Amino acid sequence: MMNIENKVAYITGGTKGIGFGIAKSLLAAGLKVAISGRNLADVEKAKAELGSENVLALASDVRHYTDEENAVKEIIAKFGKLDIVIANAGLGKFAPIDQLSLEDWNAMIDTNLTGVFHTLKASVEQLKANKGYYFSIASLAGTNFFANGAGYNASKFGVVGFTQAAMLDLREYDVKTTTIMPGSVTSHFNEHQPNDADGWKIQPEDLGQMIVDLLKLNSNVLPSKIEVRPTRTK
């Protein structure tokens, strides 16, 4: 089992929902964690809620490569290295294809897909140097299409394909690469407000624990693509 204590992780979209839940799980496992979001005040609030001195709050918009470059530089300045990257930032806009706006299409592609590339591009040399681990948070929408989901499906199908190809490129450097494809998760996605009725869904901390468990796997084992669903439907 790999010792993951004091490893350094970076989570994009870490202010709430899945990213925040992953941060909690990684901190509990003894890691140092950097979280980012577009609004520094929101990131600082999340850091305060996490209540740990091992958290670095960063303002970064994954749509802009220079933001991610600067985020990685700040992480190295603070913690000395970067071992684990979780590309989680994402958004969803849903409409029939004849009504889907150019703005919503571009927002999803730029954030969900290009942002995932920017995050890996900015961090890949650290991951290679430290034989690290890169995760992308995709979705079951990355393999199952549905009405009103053309833009979202396109972005998440892209994330799955991108991450699997990157896995083949990076394993020669002993960098592990996994895409996690969750179904229904209790989160703030698509303006949802988590409530008691969400109890049947996957919880953000469940995905965090999954990442902890994956990090601890024997180095010879790589679950490169994982679909995860709630045990039951509501």
Q: Give the model confidence (pLDDT) of 129-188 as tens digits.
A: 999 999 999 999 899 899 999 999 999 999 999 999 999 999 999 999 999 999 777 655
Token pair for 195? 């409530």
Exposure b/e, 42-80, CB count within 10 A at least 16 = b: bbbebbeebeeebbbbbbbbbbeeebbeebbebbeeebe
Main-chain dihedrals φ then ψ at residue 184, nearest 5 degrees: -70, 120
pTM: 0.93
pLDDT at 189: 57
Average of per-residue pLDDT across 19-30: 96
Find, among 165, 169, 189, the residue nearest to 179 by Cα.
Answer: 165
Catalytic residue list: 152
Chain segment 65-114, per-residue pLDDT in tens: 999 999 999 999 999 999 999 999 999 999 999 999 999 999 999 999 99
